[in-house]
Amino acid sequence: MTKVQRRYDTLAAAQNWKPSKRNGEEPMKITKIFGENTLQLEELRERLPKNVWKQLSQTVQHGEELNSEVADAVAVAMKDWATEKGATHFTHWFQPLTGLTAEKHDSFITPNEGGGALEEFSGKDLIQGEPDASSFPSGGLRQTFEARGYTAWDPTSPAFIIENQNGSYLCIPTAFASYNGEALDHKTPLLRSVEALNKQAKRALKLFGVETSRVNSTTGAEQEYFLIDEEFYYRRPDLMTAGRTLVGAKPPRGQEMDDHYFGSIPERVLSFMLDAEKELYRLGIPVKTRHNEVAPSQFEIAPIFETCNISADHQQLMMITLKRIARKYGFECLLHEKPYDGVNGSGKHLNWSISTKEGMNLLDPGDNPHDNMQFLFFFASVLKGVYENQDLLRISIGSAGNDHRLGGNEAPPAIISAFIGEQLQDVFTQLLNGGLKNSKQGGLLGLGTPVLPQIPKHAGDRNRTSPFAFTGNKFEFRAVGSNQSVSFPTVVLNTIVADALDQMCTQMEKEREDQNFEDALKTVLHDTIDECQDIVFNGDNYSDEWVEEAEKRGLHNLPDMVDALPMLTNDKNVELFEKHGVLNEDELESRKEIWAEQYLQTLNIEVDTTESIAKTMIYPAAVRYMNELAAVVDRGKKIDLETTGANNMLATVNQGLNDLDKSITEMRKAVKKANGDSIMEQAKYVNKKVVPLMNKVRDAADMLEWHVADDYWPLPIYREMLFVK
C-alpha cells in the first residue's frame, strides 16, 4: 500500500469515529460530584481532632507555621481519605520551570514483620519530599553534583486524587526548591508574591480605615485550545514533536466566514467537553463556560475565579485533564499558541483582581464615594505598576509559541498598554485638569458626582485588541499564551502592584503630614495618573498608528521573546523582586537562562522536524509527481501531443523542489553558525536568522502542496485537520 492511500484511510477513519455510549451511568449532577476528588478543609474537619483542625486552618488561611504533630495527624487523615478512594500511591505534585507539572509516585506500603504490609504515611512524608531532581532545569542554581532539590507541602492548595481505570493516586501540591532554599519552580515565587501584595494592600486599606486579615489576588483564566482527530495528529510529525504545523498551506476556506465562533458545538466535541468537565468538577475546579472559538475546531473553557495560588494549580490540572480526556474521544487537544498558520492562535485570558479575605473586590468601583476613592487608589496602582514594568509583563508571556501569536491581527500586540474605557478615562481627565480644585463642595474628589458612573461589564463595550483591559471589576491580561503556566504572569502582576502600592502609600503618609485625607489622596492620585497616563490606550491596538504613537510615548515595543527576556535581570527588576522578597538575583538569572534555553530547544526541534518532513515526505511526493508529468511530456513528443500543461506543471513543481532544497540548505547553514555563543546570544541569533529561513522552507513546501497531486501528498492537510470533527 502506498503512503498516499494511507492518508485517505486516515481521513475515512477520522470521519467514521463514533463515540461509545456510556452505559448505566447516571446523568451528571454537579453539586453531588463537585470536589469529590479533592480533600477540602471541610472534609478534614470531620477527620481531625478539633484543635488539630483549628491549627491547620490557621495555616491554610493565614499562612501560620505548622508543627509536626499537626502534620502527622493530617497525614493520617489524608492517607485514610485517599485509600478509601482507592489510592495506592502518593506523589508530591510540583511545577518545575518547564511550565509543566512533575510527579514521582511512592506507594503507601510498608512491609510488616509477619510478611504482610501496612499502609503508612507520616507527617514527614507529607511535609517534605526529595525527588531526584537533577534533570529539572535549574539554570545554574544547583550544581549537578548536589542535585538534590526538595519539595515542600503547600497546605493552602488542597490535595487531590487522579484516577485511572487500573487505580489511582494522591497528589499533594508542593513547592520545589534547592537545598539552599532557592526557588526552582513556579509556585514558590507565587506564594511569595501573594505575601508582598498582602502586606502592601493591607497597608493601603488601613489608610482608608479598612481592616482585614488577608488580601490575595484572584485569578480566572479562560483557556483556548484546538481539537484534532488523532488519526491526523499521528500522521503529522510536526504536531507530534513541536505541537504546531511547520508546513501546511492555508485552506481555501479558513475562518473567513466567522461561522464557528459561538456556533453550536459539534456532537463529538460536546461529548468530550462534558466528560472533561465532569472530571474537573470532581477535582473541585469550578468550570463555568464553554464555547466555540473563532477558528475552526477551536474552543474555550473558563472557570470561575479563585485565589491565585489555587487557581494556578487548577489551571495546570485543567490542561492535563483536557489532554487526557480528549484521547478517550479520539481527539488530541492542542494547547500550542499557534498550531496552524493563517488561522487564529490560542491564548489564555488571565483575569486578575485583588480581594480581601471577606470578599471585598478592591477593583470593584462600589457604589458610594468612599468605596470609589479606595477603588481609584487601587486602580491607579495597577496602572502605575504596569507602566513602570511593561518589560516584566512582556517577559512573563514570552515563549517561542506565543511569539507567533502576539502582534498578529488576532492577538494583542507585544506592546503593553492598558484599556480603561471611556468612563474611567473621563474621571482621569478630570482628576488631571482641576477636578481637584473644588473638592470642598463634596462629592467624589470634586468631580461633582457622588459616585462613579456605572462601569459597563459587558462584552460589547470592550476593546478586544488591548493586551491588558479593565473589564468592570478586574483586569484581563489577554496576551498570555494558551500553553503556559499562569503563575509567572500572576507573580509579575502581584509584585508590580505591591510595589506601586508601596510607593503610593509612602507618598500618602508623607502628604498626610500637612494635608487632610482627601486632599492628600487627590495629590497622590493626581501625581500617579499624571506620571503613568501614557500606559493608557483605548484605541485600536492592531493599527499601525498605535505602533508609532507608542514609540512617541516611549513605551516598549518588544516583538519577540528574545528581545524582552534579557531585561529580566536589569537593575530595576532585580531591585523590585528583591525588595518584595519574591525572587533574588540568582533566581532571576536562572529563570532567564532556563527560558532562553527552552526557546533554543524548541527552535532546534522545529528546525530538525521541518527538515525531516521536507526531505522524507515532501521531496518524495514531488519527485513521484514529476516522474509522472515527465512521462506524459515524453510520450507526448512521441505521439505528437501538445503537452504545454504537463510541461508547465513539471516546471512549476521542479521550481518548487529547487526552492525547497535551496532553503533547507540555507537554514541548515545558518543553524550551524549559531553554536558557540552564550545561550541568550544563540537564542537571539536563531530568532533573527534561523526563523526567517524556516519560514522560507515552509513557503516552498506550501507552494508544492498547492501543486503536487493530492493523492501523492503524505501529510493530512489543513482542510482535513480543521474541518473533520
- What does the binding site for Mg ion look like in residue numbers (CB under 5 A)? 222, 349
By CB under 6 A, which span of 10-18, 293-301, 350-358, 612-620 interacts with ligand ADP?
350-358
The answer to whether 356 contacts ligand ADP (rule: CB under 6 A) is no
**Residue whose CB is less far from ligand ADP, 306 or 593:** 306
Separation CA 196–CA 206 (nearest Å): 16
Backbone angles phi, psi at 438, to 5 degrees: -100, 45
Binding ligand ADP (rule: CB under 6 A), the pick from 222, 499, 502, 611 is 222
Contact 424, 379 (CB under 8 A): yes
Minimum CB–partner distance for residue 370 and ligand ADP (Å): 20
Minimum CB–partner distance for residue 471 and Mg ion (Å): 8
**Residue whose CB is less far from Mg ion, 480 or 501:** 480
Separation CA 297–CA 346 (nearest Å): 11
Contact 625, 665 (CB under 8 A): no
Nearest to 316 by CA among 460, 185, 512: 185
- Residue 474 contact among ligand ADP, Mg ion, none, beta carbon within 5 to 8 Å by kind: ligand ADP
Minimum CB–partner distance for residue 472 and ligand ADP (Å): 7
The answer to whether 303 contacts ligand ADP (rule: CB under 6 A) is yes
The answer to whether 219 contacts ligand ADP (rule: CB under 6 A) is yes
By CB under 6 A, which span of 299-307, 430-438, 443-451, 515-523 interacts with ligand ADP?
299-307
By CB under 6 A, which span of 44-52, 346-354, 550-558, 643-651 interacts with ligand ADP?
346-354
Separation CA 147–CA 113 (nearest Å): 35
Looking at beta carbons, which residue is closest to ligand ADP? 220
- Residue 220 contact among Mg ion, ligand ADP, none, beta carbon within 5 to 8 Å by kind: ligand ADP
Contact 153, 172 (CB under 8 A): yes
The answer to whether 474 contacts ligand ADP (rule: CB under 6 A) is yes
**Residue whose CB is less far from ligand ADP, 473 or 533:** 473
By CB under 6 A, which span of 351-359, 401-409, 586-594, 715-723 interacts with ligand ADP?
351-359
> Which residue type occupies 428?
F
**Residue whose CB is less far from ligand ADP, 28 or 304:** 304
The answer to whether 345 contacts ligand ADP (rule: CB under 6 A) is no
Contact 240, 257 (CB under 8 A): no
Q: Give CA angle at 390 (384, 396), nearest 5°.
A: 120
Burial class (CB in 10 A: 0-12, 13-18, 19+), 424: buried
Separation CA 136–CA 584 (nearest Å): 20
The answer to whether 91 contacts ligand ADP (rule: CB under 6 A) is no
Q: Which positions ≥6 away from 496 have C-beta within 8 Å?
A: 385, 386, 388, 389, 392, 393, 576
Strands annotated E in 457-594:
468-470, 475-477
**Residue whose CB is less far from Mg ion, 349 or 698:** 349
Separation CA 98–CA 483 (nearest Å): 11
**Residue whose CB is less far from Mg ion, 118 or 459:** 459
By CB under 6 A, which span of 445-453, 470-478, 490-498, 561-569 interacts with ligand ADP?
470-478
Q: Classify 442 in phi/psi space as left (phi over 0), alpha (psi -120 to 50) or beta.
A: left
The answer to whether 304 contacts ligand ADP (rule: CB under 6 A) is yes
State the angle between helix axes of 517-532 and 369-388 in degrees (0 to 180), rounded to the nearest 10. 30
Separation CA 94–CA 185 (nearest Å): 8
The answer to whether 471 contacts ligand ADP (rule: CB under 6 A) is yes
Separation CA 519–CA 521 (nearest Å): 5
By CB under 6 A, which span of 218-226, 412-420, 477-485, 671-679 interacts with ligand ADP?
218-226
Backbone angles phi, psi at 299, to 5 degrees: -140, 170
Cell triple for 81:
481519605
The answer to whether 300 contacts ligand ADP (rule: CB under 6 A) is no
Binding ligand ADP (rule: CB under 6 A), the pick from 473, 557, 612, 695 is 473
First to last CA, the chain: 26
Binding ligand ADP (rule: CB under 6 A), the pick from 191, 273, 302, 618 is 302
**Residue whose CB is less far from Mg ion, 363 or 704:** 363
Q: Helices (H) and strands (E) in the chain — how many of each?
A: 26, 17
Q: Give Cα 160 to chain centroid, integer Å.
A: 22
Interface size with ligand ADP, residues (CB under 6 A): 17
Query: Mapping DSSP to helix (H, G, I), strand (E, B) and coil, where does residue 302 land?
Result: strand
The answer to whether 435 contacts ligand ADP (rule: CB under 6 A) is no
- Residue 218 contact among ligand ADP, Mg ion, none, beta carbon within 5 to 8 Å by kind: ligand ADP
- Residue 304 contact among Mg ion, ligand ADP, none, beta carbon within 5 to 8 Å by kind: ligand ADP
**Residue whose CB is less far from Mg ion, 315 or 598:** 315
- Residue 595 contact among ligand ADP, Mg ion, none, beta carbon within 5 to 8 Å by kind: none
- Residue 684 contact among Mg ion, ligand ADP, none, beta carbon within 5 to 8 Å by kind: none
Binding ligand ADP (rule: CB under 6 A), the pick from 57, 134, 361, 652 is 361
Separation CA 333–CA 461 (nearest Å): 32
Residues that bind ligand ADP (CB under 6 A): 218-220, 222, 302-305, 351-353, 361, 457, 459, 471, 473-474
